[in-house]
Structures are given as C-alpha cells and as structure tokens.
Amino acid sequence: MIVVSSFEITESGRRSQPWGATEGHQYKAGKYYNFREHPELITTHLEDFVEHADQISVQNFYDFIRWINGPESALESTDCMLSGEPKDDPSAVLFRCTHGITGRFEFFIRQIEINANKESIRWVYDKLSIYLQIERSDFRKGTFRISPLITDYITPDGDKLTGHRFCIYFQAYGNGIQDAWLSLETMFDSLVKTTKRLNTEIISGQAVPL
C-alpha cells in the first residue's frame, strides 16, 4: 500500500468536536452525528455513501464505522467523505488506470485528553504510517495520506480542550468503474486492519507483532 504523508500540523482543517453542518461542500453538505449513541443512523446519514450502498466496499465501510464507534473500540469517528461513483481521472494514469474515487475518514481517541498530548499524537501517526504500508504491500492502485488536524474539543462540562484528530485521505484507482470500486474495497480492508491493530495497542499498551 502506498502511504503519502508528512507530520506537518497547520491551521487548515481546524474545527470543533462535535461540529455543526457544513456549507459550500464540494460534494454534499455534511453534519456531525454521534454514531456511538445512534448507530442506527450509519446507513442512512452518511450523505456521500448512501446512494452507493449496493457496493461491497460501502457495506464494509458501514461495518467499520459500527465497530469504531462500538464498545470494543477506544476510538471514535468524527467525519467521512466519498467523492461519488468513480470517474475518469487524469491522475489515474500514474497508476496505469483510467478511473478514480477519493474520500477521507476522520477519527479521534475517546479519552479526549490523550488527543491533546503531542507525544501520543505522534505515536498514533507513526503506527498508522507503518501499518497502512505493510497491509497489502503489493497493492499499487491507491494511496493513503495521513494528516493530524487541530481540533477544539468541547468537553461534557462545556470546556474547550485544544488537541488533534486524524484524517486519512484515500484515493483508489481502477481500469473502469467497477475495478475502481474493487480497489476501494481493498483499501478499506487495509484501513480496517490497521485501525483495529492500533486500537489493540492503545487498549493493551503492548505492540502487536508485525
């Protein structure tokens, strides 16, 4: 798997958590939903994914969102985006393909204070970078890009705690529409395995053998 990233934190992408509705969105307007409290909304309120629910990759993504917001996870999702059906993409030629589909997935650590610890954020970043690269190291039809984004967390008491969340951008390519969907399926599988491995290490405090 190809991972393109550099540990650079800027003001770009800064926002609060939880956040309100978006305006002027490139694809569809979005809004934050607490899927920990309302998992039944996952298949109906992920605006960019709903119309593509017939794709296996999207169904697998739904399962991933259920898990990361479920009782076995120390993490929580905060946002995700999908560009729509794969389209002709000039950049796809770099991967010997014709079509591309892009998106992002964002998450944070449920124990909010950890998100404000720079050493912890760097540790998570390094783990994500390593594990995404070793999952399907033979796969060359897509890329991941990892970005820590500044986030102003609103605590249950109404206080503000400035920390970070993680945004993982993905680009999947294929020769034709269906092949691009298959590439996205492979990438989501790698994302799930990477995140579950990270979750195990956060909970246990011990590294998972490579």
Angle at 102 between CA 60 and CA 74, to 5 degrees: 50
Residue 7 is predicted with a pLDDT of 72
Q: Per the domain annotation, does 163 fall within a domain?
A: yes
Distance between CA 184 and CA 57 in Å, rounded? Answer: 6
Q: Which residues of the chain have a pLDDT value below 50?
A: 23-25
Domain span at residue 56 reads 2-23+30-204
Q: Per the domain annotation, does 93 fall within a domain?
A: yes
Q: Per the domain annotation, does 152 fall within a domain?
A: yes
Residue 16 is predicted with a pLDDT of 82
The number of folded domains in the chain is 1
Model-wide pTM > 0.75: yes
Closest by CA position to 191, among listed 166, 173, 174, 208: 166
Q: Per the domain annotation, does 210 fall within a domain?
A: no
Q: Per the domain annotation, does 62 fall within a domain?
A: yes
Residue 181 is predicted with a pLDDT of 98
Helix (H, G, I), strand (E, B) or coil at 131: helix
Q: Per the domain annotation, does 9 fall within a domain?
A: yes
Residue 2 is predicted with a pLDDT of 84
Residue 209 is predicted with a pLDDT of 59
Residue 5 is predicted with a pLDDT of 72
Residue 24 is predicted with a pLDDT of 45
Distance between CA 198 and CA 73 in Å, rounded? Answer: 10
Token pair for residue 4? 């393109």
Q: Per the domain annotation, does 209 fall within a domain?
A: no
